[in-house]
Structure 1
Amino acid sequence: MAAGTYTAQMSVSRWAGRWRLYVALLGEPSSQWPEYEFDGDVVPTVAARSRALNKLGYAFTDGPEWTWTEDSAVPDDAASPVLLIASATVREAGP
């Protein structure tokens, strides 16, 4: 990852059932990471994700391209519900 870039991730909160977007700041506790929670349980559009990132003070580096990864709620359990996690490279937005 280039200097001055960060990873934004989006996943469904298991507790609230809503999509949340956050920017992972290495070296900082996750409780300090900028976070945005979307209304409803529908996957947010790319435009909605972009607006949320802007509200957090970040912007995409090379366009709004997201990579999706599957994870599981219970590791090593093939019957566990699938968790989808999206990620994109972002940078701090200018003034």
Structure 2
Amino acid sequence: MSEHTAQLSSRTGRWLLYVVLMGVPVSQWPEHDFGPGSVPTPAERSRALTDLGFVFMDGAEWAWEECSERPDDDSSPVWLLAFVQVCSRDGGLS
């Protein structure tokens, strides 16, 4: 069973969920655009991942990280990145 990282990020007010597939061009990563608005709920994120063909790894939980646009400048704007470990529903690479 291949393990992947699903990430949720917000840029310019839109929330985007995508699954990182190593060795695959970024343009081909499975993704779901939640559009503008509030942070998608855990249930909404889970449904989106299921629709993309992925499920959470056993015991996996969402973790959040604050990322600075300019890491050496503490006055720089930040964006939020959430991530969780997933695997494909069918055990393949998806």
> Normalization by structure 1: what TM-score?
0.86
| 2:8–2:16 contact (8 Å) kept in structure 1 | yes
Structure with greater strand share of residues: 2
Corresponding pairs, count? 91
| 2:16–2:35 contact (8 Å) kept in structure 1 | no
Measure how far apart 1:63 and its partner are: 4.7
For 1:2-48, what per-residue CA distance to the aligned partner results, in whole angstroms no more than 9, with x for missing partners?
x511000000023xx21100000011111111010103320010000
Q: Which consecutive residues of structure 1, in runs of 5 or more, have no partner in the other structure? A: none
Query: Which letter maps to 2:19?
Result: V
3-state SS, counterpart of residue 16 of structure 2: strand
4+ runs deviating over 2 angstroms: none
For 1:38-88, what per-residue CA distance to the aligned partner results, in whole angstroms no more than 9, with x for missing partners?
033200100000000011111111256101111112232211111110000
State the distance in 1 between where 2:11 and 2:15 align.
6
Aligned alpha-carbon RMSD (Å): 1.7
Partner of 1:91: 87
State the distance in 2 between where 1:76 and 1:6 align.
29
Percent of aligned positions that are identical: 52
3-state SS, counterpart of residue 67 of structure 2: strand
| 1:46–1:64 contact (8 Å) kept in structure 2 | no
Whether 1:33 aligns to 2:24 is no
Q: Which consecutive residues of structure 2, in runs of 5 or more, have no partner in the other structure? A: none
1:88/1:6 CA distance change after superposition, 3 Å:
same
1:42 to 15, 30, 38: 38
State the distance in 1 between where 2:10 and 2:27 align.
17
| 1:20–1:35 contact (8 Å) kept in structure 2 | yes
Query: Which letter maps to 2:6?
Result: A
